[in-house]
């Protein structure tokens, strides 16, 4: 049989009517590992990280672990020289274990526990402080242990990122950050507190941003604050502008690249820092851009039902990919075992969860779908597995990493025992 091969998205191909990722046939992967299955293309992770590094050669790139904290991915990025934005002790623990140097980790979060602050102090991790309360708690903890905690403040720059409201994080009404008008006074207070050494400033305005103008506005507003903070004698070693660069989930959707991001902010950042006579390191914290398009979620068709619509019932639901239910987000669908067959009908891909909102994709034109077919949801690498749950008594699925046609299991499939693993029965219920 002749081998017909063409590209479907940058790093996904079709060969003999099958979807191919990292030169591996998705139908074979589904046979070998079962479904549902997350499949990540190793080379694509590196390509995406390299694109950021090349666009910002002088900046430090701190990968946002929340996007996908699978250990193999953290390890790969650690080897590439990435730092990490972590949002919990769990992410910190994994980032350190993956080999990311402690000096290249920023502990973010709007509601850290004392335990988390103690760990940051003990391990010498920089903290992005989100409130005055947190500042006081950290000062006490660091002072007690005779150490100085290096900190930044997370600033709320009040910028609209022009994205989904649930993932806008730098609006005035958002729960994150110190309001701009309080920034100078809190740096002043911090510089006088025991155990606290302010050395950076931080913000993050949101995610899935498809227009670079909010990034530029953020730099403008942040540099206005930097100027005031420097004026009161604070030495800023770093300015962390967060991230939020979006990706084209829909075919042909215009999306900026890391180079566009760099072109939008670097000239202004350079101009403003030079004018102030300072040379802080620029930090960026991309998550989605690094991992989103590296991964597909493979799910098997259990049922096809003709009702008011054609419902395709698959074995993955919002327990494994919550983005469509939570943000109405779009993930492109390919029938992985009929990847080049012509579309025949319109289908809605429904998960197995007992909720009306458990729809993974609405009204898609697809080849004829039948029981046993394999559906691939594309661009599922960011906030996919990392937001999964065991809802409805569904053990989480496996993850595999593919490279040059070979595959490795990087997370085993959970089984029903995992549903009970941490549960205990009081003696009276035995
Ligand atoms: N830095 C901070 C402080 C953040 O809060 C975030 C994301 C990032 C970096 C990474 O942003 P990215 O480059 O990935 O846009 N679950 C949502 C996205 C939530 C983003 C939360 N913060 C989704 O699935 O769209």
Summarised one tens digit per residue, pLDDT across range 7-20 is 667 789 999 999 99
Contact 337, 373 (CB under 8 A): yes
Ligand 1 atom nearest 202 alpha carbon: 3
Ligand 1 within 6 A of 126 CB?
no
Dmax over CA atoms of the chain, in Å, equals: 75
Ligand 1 within 6 A of 246 CB?
no
Residue 6: pLDDT band by 50, 70, 90 thresholds? low
Can you read off the two tokens belonging to residue 201? 């400033």
Per-residue model confidence (pLDDT) at position 272 = 97
Ligand 1 within 6 A of 156 CB?
no
Per-residue model confidence (pLDDT) at position 1 = 39
CB atoms within 10 A of CB 145: 13
Using alpha carbons only, what angle is made at residue 365 by residues 327 and 373, rounded to the nearest 5 degrees?
90
Cα 208 to ligand 1 centre (Å): 8
Percent of the chain topping pLDDT 70: 98
Integer Cα distance of 297 and 19 in angstroms = 12
- For 109, how many CA atoms within 13 A lie in the half-sphere containing its CB? 22
Residue 165: pLDDT band by 50, 70, 90 thresholds? confident
What is the CA 111 to chain-centroid distance, rounded?
19
Question: Which residue among 2, 3, 354, 397 is the active-site one?
Answer: 354
Mean pLDDT of 275-301: 98
Task: Among 64, 88, 167, name the best residue to mutate to test ligand 1's pocket (greatest count of ligand atoms within 8 A of Cβ).
Answer: 64
Ligand 1 within 6 A of 202 CB?
no
Predicted confidence (pLDDT) at residue 352 exceeds the cutoff of 80:
yes
Residue 376: pLDDT band by 50, 70, 90 thresholds? very high
Per-residue model confidence (pLDDT) at position 5 = 57
Contact 25, 406 (CB under 8 A): no
Task: Among 55, 87, 108, 207, name the best residue to mutate to test ligand 1's pocket (greatest count of ligand atoms within 8 A of Cβ).
Answer: 207
| DSSP letter (8 states) at residue 189 | H
Per-residue model confidence (pLDDT) at position 262 = 98
Sheet holding 18-21, edge to edge: 5-9, 12-15, 18-21, 24-25
Predicted confidence (pLDDT) at residue 4 exceeds the cutoff of 70:
no
Q: What is the pTM of this model?
A: 0.96
Per-residue model confidence (pLDDT) at position 7 = 65
Beta bridge partners of 429: none
Mean pLDDT of 279-299: 98
Mean pLDDT of 150-166: 87
Ligand 1 within 6 A of 85 CB?
yes
Cα 5 to ligand 1 centre (Å): 35
Summarised one tens digit per residue, pLDDT across range 240-284 is 999 999 999 998 899 999 999 999 999 999 999 999 999 999 999
Per-residue model confidence (pLDDT) at position 171 = 77
The DSSP line for 260-309 is: HHHHHHHHHHHHHHHHHT--PEEEE--SHHHHGGGEEEEEEEEEEEESSS
Mean pLDDT of 127-152: 97
203 is catalytic: no
Computed over every residue of the chain, the mean pLDDT equals 96
């Amino acid at each position: 049989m002749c081998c017909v091969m063409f590209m479907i998205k940058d790093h996904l191909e079709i060969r003999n009517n099958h979807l191919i990722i990292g030169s591996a046939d998705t139908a074979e992967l589904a046979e070998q590992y079962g479904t549902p299955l997350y499949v990540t293309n190793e080379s694509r992770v590196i390509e995406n990280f390299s694109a950021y590094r090349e666009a910002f050669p002088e900046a430090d790139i701190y990968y946002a672990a929340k996007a996908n904290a699978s250990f193999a991915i953290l390890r790969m990025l650690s080897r590439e020289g990435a730092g990490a934005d972590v949002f919990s002790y769990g992410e910190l623990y994994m980032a350190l274990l993956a080999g990311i140097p402690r000096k290249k980790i920023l502990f973010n979060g709007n509601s850290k526990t004392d335990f988390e602050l103690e760990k940051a102090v003990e391990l010498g991790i920089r903290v992005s402080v989100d409130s005055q309360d947190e500042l006081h708690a950290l000062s006490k903890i660091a002072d007690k242990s005779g150490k100085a905690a290096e900190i930044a403040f997370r600033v709320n720059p009040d910028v609209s990122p022009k994205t989904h409201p649930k993932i806008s994080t730098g609006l005035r009404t958002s729960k994150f950050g110190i309001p701009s008008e309080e920034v100078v006074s809190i740096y002043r207070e911090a510089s006088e507190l025991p155990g606290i050494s302010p050395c950076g400033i931080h913000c993050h305005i949101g995610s899935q941003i498809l227009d670079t103008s909010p990034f530029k506005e953020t730099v403008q507003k942040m540099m206005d604050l930097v100027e005031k903070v420097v004026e009161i004698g604070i030495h800023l070693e770093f300015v962390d502008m967060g991230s939020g660069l979006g990706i084209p989930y829909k075919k042909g959707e215009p999306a900026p690249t890391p180079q566009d991001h760099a072109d939008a902010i670097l000239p202004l950042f350079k101009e403003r820092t030079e004018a102030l006579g300072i040379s802080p390191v620029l930090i960026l914290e991309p998550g989605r851009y690094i991992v989103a398009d590296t991964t597909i979620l493979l799910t098997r068709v259990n049922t096809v039902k003709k009702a008011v619509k054609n419902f395709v019932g698959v074995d993955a639901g919002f327990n494994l990919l919550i983005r469509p239910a939570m943000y109405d987000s779009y993930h492109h669908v390919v029938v992985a075992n009929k990847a080049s067959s012509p579309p025949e009908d319109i289908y809605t891909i429904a998960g197995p969860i007992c909720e009306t909102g458990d729809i993974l994709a609405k009204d898609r034109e697809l080849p004829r779908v039948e029981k046993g077919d394999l559906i691939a949801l594309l661009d599922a690498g960011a906030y996919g597995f990392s937001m999964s749950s065991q809802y409805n008594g569904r053990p989480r699925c496996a993850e595999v990493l593919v490279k040059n046609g070979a595959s490795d299991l990087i997370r085993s499939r959970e089984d029903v025992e995992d549903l009970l693993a941490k549960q205990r029965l009081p003696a009276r219920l035995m």
